[in-house]
Amino acid sequence: MWVWPVYGLMERLSDIQKSDVLIVVAGMDAALPTVLGGLVSQPIIGVPTSVGYGVAKGGESALKSMLSSCSSGLTVTNIDNGYGAACAALRILSHGTKL
């Protein structure tokens, strides 16, 4: 598992593209899953985070941003549901071995 800050995204894109499934945790305007959706072909699971200030409203803004994303195939969990994202990723990965 790797964690990349947004400012280092393009420098690490080749490493990111080696993953089979991406779990992307983002807060505030939650643009990162949409940006990655335009750069990679892997399944992306977005996890809105409750961390933020101002109008972030405990993650509601991030959740709504991910749900209204124009990135095709983006799956979104509930706010702070990293466990649910990991379970979904496991299902995606284990299903691929049955094909």
In the predicted structure, residue 92 carries a pLDDT above the cut 80? yes
In the predicted structure, residue 25 carries a pLDDT above the cut 60? yes
Instruction: Please tell me the predicted confidence (pLDDT) of residue 54.
Output: 72
**Would you give the end-to-end CA distance of the chain in angstroms?**
25
In this prediction, residue 4 has a pLDDT band, given cuts at 50, 70 and 90, of: low
Using alpha carbons, select from 2, 6, 15 the residue that is nearest to residue 34: 6
Contacts of 40 (CB under 8 A, 6+ apart): 13, 16, 17, 22
Residue with structure tokens 């420098």?
11
Q: Which of 8-22, 36-50, 63-77, 85-99 has the lowest mean pLDDT?
A: 85-99
Largest CA distance in the chain: 47
